[in-house]
Structure 1
Amino acid sequence: MKRTLLAATLAMTFANAANAAGEAKNIIFFLGDGMGPSTITASRIFKYGEDGSLNMDKLERTARIKTYSNDAQTTDSAPSMAAYMTGVKMNNEVISMSADTVATNPGKDANGNLGINNCAATGNGTSVPTILELAKAKGKAVGSITTTELTHATPAATYSHICNRNAQYAIAAQAVPGGAGYNSALLDGVDVLMGGGRNHFLPYDANTSVGKLGRADGRNLLNEFAAKGYTVAATKADMLAAPTNKKFIGLYSSKSHLEYELDRTATPPVGEGANQPSLAEMTTKAMDILSQNSNGYFLMVEGGRIDHALHGTNAKRALTDTIAFDDAVKAALDKAKLTDPTLANTLIVVTADHDHTLAFNGYGKRGNPILDINRDYKTGQPTKDADGNTYTTLVFGNGPNRPNLRTNLDSATVLADNYLQETGVRLASETHGGGDVKLFATGAGAKSFKGTLDNTKVFTLLKSAYGF
């Protein structure tokens, strides 16, 4: 009995030492775009109540992440995600380039669409390797999936290098194996790509294109992907039917991002939502494909529309998309544990690229719906401002919805899907916040994620978990 116990203890000790030294076979990196601490707390209350827990809350390792960029206290998504992916601080709007890179004009095509210049300025910085490229060089499978356009800042930071995040047509070209403008550091290509924005991959056609969207260079990048052996999908049904032994690209929106989760699941669904998969479904399909590689994989999963709803000061859609993102975390955990029960070979990291200005207002009563007007914790009666008007618990520091004169708010108004929370400073669009964000981790190498870390340090820890 003692010998068995000793052997088990020694085995656990050696396993922990191996993980600490960098024995993660697989890494899944979840990024909730704009998912600051207040958004996490509000989403938890929205879905599970004050005493409940999100799935990400249950991960045993936590840290605080500093998010400033090379030139700004408050970062935009391009350099913040690129810091996670490359370990380099760069300027706002720059994607996976050296710190001296200037965000040059993205240029316009013949139809007036932004996004054709690919760092044309001579000597304007150099590309820096991403963790995805490093994993590919070690023989691992890699994937990047998102609810935004596939060429948006966060996914673009995993597979492209460019001076301005808005050069989305040039970003798309970097993903096509062997094509003009291809990022050769990707070797034979990213194994799984999913998101929206099909217009960046298809040629402009005056008869069928939406508005003037589409590639002015006439290239059909999806045909080029198919010629390289990729399965190309446009709907959830296409994705579910796709074989797991081939590379895969799924673009589920013809002209923009995927629908907000609130709209995708509405009755009837809004826009193209009826044919779009959930982020959880995209995640598990990506894992099915990537896990065919015996060397392991790296997968980036972005809940990108959290950020968009926050910019619009629409808390209901932001919280609903955060819950969908959290559901994807659970789906990944459940699937990974089917073959790796203790996550001894798999590291899962969940974090955000930056904060927003969402804030809690007043002393709300426990149990009061988080999207509702504030109600006093002692009396349960609506709380009033200095002028005698009710107000919501959730507000924004800035944004478009700042009335010249506040009036009374009622529950029916503020609980509606399209209600926009009031803001302190009037701006055309709500901005990011400069505060620290949270990070959660579990599995192989997770113990290293602790304390207050710079976002560039996360890249170092990801490399260490792999043993690179």
Structure 2
Amino acid sequence: MLTTLLLSAAIAGQPAEPPQDYAADARAALSDRLARIPVTGRAKNVIVFVGDGLSISTATAARILDGQLRGVDGESNALSFEKFPYTGLSKTYSHDFQVSDSAATATAIMTGSKTRSGMINVTLDAQPSDCGPDAPNRLQSLAEIAETAGKATGLVSTARITHATPATVYAHVPERDWESDDDVPEGLRESCPDIARQLIEWPAGDGLELAMGGGRAGFLPEDMADPEHEGEFGNRLDGRDLTAEWVEKAGENGAYVWNREQFDALDAAGAPRVLALFEPSHMQYDADRADDPAGEPSLSEMTAKAIDILSTDEDGFFLMVEGGRIDHAHHAGNAYRALTDAVAFSKAVETALSKVDPAETLIVVTADHGHTLTISGYPARGNPILGLAATPAALIKAQDGKPYTTLGYANGPGAVDGERPDLSDVDVRDKDFRQQALVPSGSETHTGDDVPIYAKGPWAHLLTGVVEQNYIFHAMRHAMTYEENAAE
């Protein structure tokens, strides 16, 4: 038995684990659950973490990878949010699609209503020309409710902050791709403000206190050179420099930053109003951040800075944090970057937990939709999750006599036309490796399966069971406005 354990550990590159008393572990877990008492006070703060594309299989694989990277047993490991006391499942279909996009799913989370795929914070009967601040089809977001209540508000994303999920914090558009004015049809540009412009002109309360992520090009005029990447320019056609407008509107506390040095210099104690745009488009994957010319903070570091700034408001705050590039790596059929970004997402949640009072802060971690990632093939415990499927004795071969990876995709760019290549001498754990897929497609797709919800803090116990995705909003709003509800 010992020889088998050591051989398994050697193949996996992990230390052998001592025998576990599974029954004792289960009894301890039961005791913990029996001792839980739901928190039912008002949530002064609400933080919603959206792992874009964080399917259950992604969370499982990231859990294993996280443990293996730290030299511990990955299978029994737990990501930060997997230790939350309350969990549930969210049904992700949109009004018109079994398998939805991020615009409709994030709208459900942020407004409490399902809508059509491709739409952001507007009702399902909205038409392309139905836009602008006076349009009757707008759905109020939780951030707008928080602003009206006098709370500070912010968003953090590793994607463009005008991308579908972060845009649901503040924007209302019938077409998610209208991120900059050059994306809006010419005849609608005047009456339909683009998403970047809506962030700057957001009328709720006194506006966002902070927005951090990518998407710099959508805020700069087309004749303005990007400060980081030679040969790149802004893409706005109206000539407006929205970064300068942010600073002007914010007054003496206004700050616009675009590199690591400027980010590090931000003094949270001064309650700056921060627009941070670290890339013309999306931020770097976590695996590639070290190579960024101007330097980029991690998702954890942005989360920490955001909480420090927003916490200066005595009335509390609302914050959305998106791990936006988990989704992009999945679309590329690249499990390495998807999982390392998921691990970075878990670290951001852990950072948030260390900076807030759980008695007055509701933290919800969920996903907008899933992806087609699969974990299969009977590999031994401790086998590298990014590696070839193997037992302690040998690689596992498919019917064609060739090995295969534990992780795969149902569709995507990793599919091949004709005979499947032999992966025996391929470094399948390289960060650029694309997992093999069944159905060929230029981009791997979303899935329609339920996604997890993890919750901790006031009224977190409301987020259990299988629920409609738009229900999440109503549970968060109840927690944030509890005293008002109780008085009615």
1:143-154 equivalence runs, <5 A: 143-154=154-165
Partner of residue 100, structure 1:
125
User: Aligned to 1:46, which of 60, 65, 74?
Assistant: 65
Instruction: Output the CA distance in 2 between the equivalents of 1:411 and 1:59.
Output: 41
Q: Show CA shifts across 1:236-291 (max 9, x none).
A: 221221232221111111x21110000113xxx1x44x511000000010011111
What is the DSSP-based 3-state SS (H/G/I as helix, E as strand, rest coil) of the residue aligned with 2:75? coil
| Paired residues of 1:347 and 1:446 also in contact (CA < 8 A) | yes
Partner of residue 193, structure 1:
211
User: Aligned to 2:441, which of 387, 411, 427?
Assistant: 427
Partner of residue 409, structure 1:
423
What is the DSSP-based 3-state SS (H/G/I as helix, E as strand, rest coil) of the residue aligned with 1:364? coil
Instruction: Output the CA distance in 2 between the equivalents of 1:326 and 1:432.
Output: 21
Q: CA deviation at 1:354?
A: 0.3
What is the DSSP-based 3-state SS (H/G/I as helix, E as strand, rest coil) of the residue aligned with 2:122? coil
Pair 1:249-2:263 in alignment: no
Pair 1:234-2:251 in alignment: no
1:260-299 equivalence runs, <5 A: 260-265=285-290, 269=291, 271-272=292-293, 275-299=295-319
Structure 1 unpaired stretches of 5+: 1-15, 105-117, 177-181
Structure 2 unpaired stretches of 5+: 1-36, 68-73, 181-193
User: Aligned to 1:23, which of 33, 42, 46?
Assistant: 42
Instruction: Output the CA distance in 2 between the equivalents of 1:124 and 1:410.
Output: 59
Instruction: Output the CA distance in 1 between the equivalents of 2:111 and 2:466.
Output: 19
Q: CA deviation at 1:192?
A: 1.0
Pair 1:385-2:421 in alignment: no
User: Aligned to 1:225, which of 246, 253, 266?
Assistant: 246
Task: Label 1:386 to 1:67 Cα distance change in 2 as closer, same or farther (>3 A).
Answer: same
Q: Show CA shifts across 1:287-346 (max 9, x none).
A: 11111111100000000000000000000000000000000000000111xxx2xx1111
- The more displaced of 136-145 and 406-415 is 406-415
Aligned residues: 418
Pair 1:156-2:182 in alignment: no
Q: CA deviation at 1:213?
A: 4.3
AA paired with 1:144? Answer: L
| Paired residues of 1:365 and 1:380 also in contact (CA < 8 A) | no
| Paired residues of 2:142 and 2:169 also in contact (CA < 8 A) | yes
Runs (4 or more) in structure 1 with deviation over 3 Å come to 118-121, 206-213
User: Aligned to 1:314, which of 334, 338, 346?
Assistant: 334
Q: CA deviation at 1:445?
A: 1.4
Partner of residue 85, structure 2:
60
Q: CA deviation at 1:211?
A: 5.0
What is the DSSP-based 3-state SS (H/G/I as helix, E as strand, rest coil) of the residue aligned with 2:143? helix
AA paired with 1:297? Answer: F
Q: CA deviation at 1:365?
A: 0.8
Partner of residue 381, structure 2:
366
Q: CA deviation at 1:187?
A: 2.6
Q: CA deviation at 1:228?
A: 1.4
What is the DSSP-based 3-state SS (H/G/I as helix, E as strand, rest coil) of the residue aligned with 2:100? coil
| Paired residues of 1:148 and 1:257 also in contact (CA < 8 A) | yes
Instruction: Output the CA distance in 1 between the equivalents of 2:151 and 2:220.
Output: 29
TM-score (norm 2): 0.82
| Paired residues of 2:385 and 2:407 also in contact (CA < 8 A) | yes
AA paired with 1:133? Answer: E
| Paired residues of 1:55 and 1:329 also in contact (CA < 8 A) | yes
- The more displaced of 448-457 and 207-216 is 207-216
Task: Label 1:411 to 1:132 Cα distance change in 2 as closer, same or farther (>3 A).
Answer: farther
Q: Show CA shifts across 1:157-204 (max 9, x none).
A: 11100011100011000011xxxxx332x2321111001111110111
Q: CA deviation at 1:361?
A: 2.1
Identity %: 41
Pair 1:166-2:186 in alignment: no
Instruction: Output the CA distance in 2 between the equivalents of 1:225 and 1:410.
Output: 54
What is the DSSP-based 3-state SS (H/G/I as helix, E as strand, rest coil) of the residue aligned with 2:145? helix
AA paired with 2:106? Answer: M
- The more displaced of 406-415 and 197-206 is 406-415
Q: CA deviation at 1:417?
A: 1.2
AA paired with 1:460? Answer: H
Q: Show CA shifts across 1:94-120 (max 9, x none).
A: 000012125x4xxxxxxxxxxxxx746
Partner of residue 368, structure 2:
353
Instruction: Output the CA distance in 1 between the equivalents of 2:233 and 2:370.
Output: 33
| Paired residues of 1:199 and 1:213 also in contact (CA < 8 A) | yes
Pair 1:80-2:102 in alignment: no
User: Aligned to 1:175, which of 170, 187, 199?
Assistant: 199
Instruction: Output the CA distance in 2 between the equivalents of 1:459 and 1:360.
Output: 31
Q: CA deviation at 1:124?
A: 8.3
Q: CA deviation at 1:207?
A: 6.2
Instruction: Give the RMSD, CA atoms, in angstroms.
Output: 1.9
Instruction: Output the CA distance in 2 between the equivalents of 1:327 and 1:296.
Output: 23
Instruction: Output the CA distance in 2 between the equivalents of 1:148 and 1:292.
Output: 26
User: Aligned to 2:459, which of 431, 442, 445?
Assistant: 445
Instruction: Output the CA distance in 2 between the equivalents of 1:460 and 1:225.
Output: 31
What is the DSSP-based 3-state SS (H/G/I as helix, E as strand, rest coil) of the residue aligned with 2:386? coil
| Paired residues of 2:130 and 2:137 also in contact (CA < 8 A) | no
What is the DSSP-based 3-state SS (H/G/I as helix, E as strand, rest coil) of the residue aligned with 1:228? helix
Q: CA deviation at 1:210?
A: 4.6
Q: CA deviation at 1:411?
A: 6.1
Instruction: Output the CA distance in 2 between the equivalents of 1:318 and 1:203.
Output: 32
| Paired residues of 2:225 and 2:234 also in contact (CA < 8 A) | no
Pair 1:398-2:411 in alignment: yes
Partner of residue 12, structure 2:
none
AA paired with 2:373? Answer: L
Q: CA deviation at 1:449?
A: 1.1
